[in-house]
């Protein structure tokens, strides 16, 4: 998760929501680029890496987007118009255990460390709205990740 708080990069991450019924932000998980890491394992080369990357991204989406996980409403800037979208991109460098467990812990840690700049929505006389970011890089909100689950694999021998 990219934590740059400069005004231009932050404004690029603001989504103009097309669906008028949305009042929350979004988490978007990129399918993992397993083939880009030759150190991970040769099994991930080609199509095998693409399929596993998609499977992991879909699992992460189900876990982290579930009700009671990340408070996506805290990502809302202006209901039904503007919200933050968090893009999660995971790069696998080594495979030495259960991928789902390690990646879920890494994503939770990244969400804990994410700082979202505070914004104000200004409206002029004509009714057009403009988003204004705070100039203070420390004027930000943090996501509550207390209830974010971690995937744990158990095995009985």
What is residue 30's predicted lDDT score, i.e. its pLDDT?
Answer: 67
Crossing angle of helices 47-64 and 99-113, in 10° steps, is 50
Structure tokens, 157: 């021998």
> If we measure between CA atoms, which residue out of 53, 119, 122, 64 comes closest to residue 90?
53
- Average pLDDT of adjacent 10-residue blocks, the chain of 157 residues: 40 40 65 55 66 83 81 81 82 80 90 89 84 88 88 85
Domains of the chain (ranges; CATH) run 7-142 (3.30.230.70)
What is residue 17's predicted lDDT score, i.e. its pLDDT?
Answer: 38
What is residue 45's predicted lDDT score, i.e. its pLDDT?
Answer: 65
Give one word for 68, left, alpha or beta, with left for phi > 0 and alpha for psi -120 to 50. Answer: left
Phi, psi of 76 (to 5 degrees): -80, 130
What is residue 131's predicted lDDT score, i.e. its pLDDT?
Answer: 85
């Amino acid at each position: 998760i990219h934590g740059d708080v400069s005004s231009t990069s932050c404004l690029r991450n603001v989504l103009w929501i097309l669906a008028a019924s949305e009042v929350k932000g979004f988490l978007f998980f990129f399918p993992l680029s397993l083939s880009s890491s030759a150190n991970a394992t040769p099994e991930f080369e080609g199509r095998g890496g693409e399929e596993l990357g998609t499977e992991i991204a879909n699992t992460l989406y189900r876990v982290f987007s579930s009700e009671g996980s990340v408070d996506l409403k805290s990502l809302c800037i202006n209901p039904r118009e503007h919200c933050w979208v968090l893009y999660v991109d995971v790069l696998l460098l080594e495979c030495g255990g259960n991928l789902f467990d390690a990646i879920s812990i890494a994503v939770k840690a990244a969400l804990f460390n994410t700082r979202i700049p505070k914004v104000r929505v200004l409206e002029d006389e004509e009714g057009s709205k403009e988003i204004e970011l705070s100039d203070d890089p420390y004027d930000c909100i943090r996501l509550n990740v207390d209830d974010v689950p971690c995937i744990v694999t158990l095995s009985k021998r």
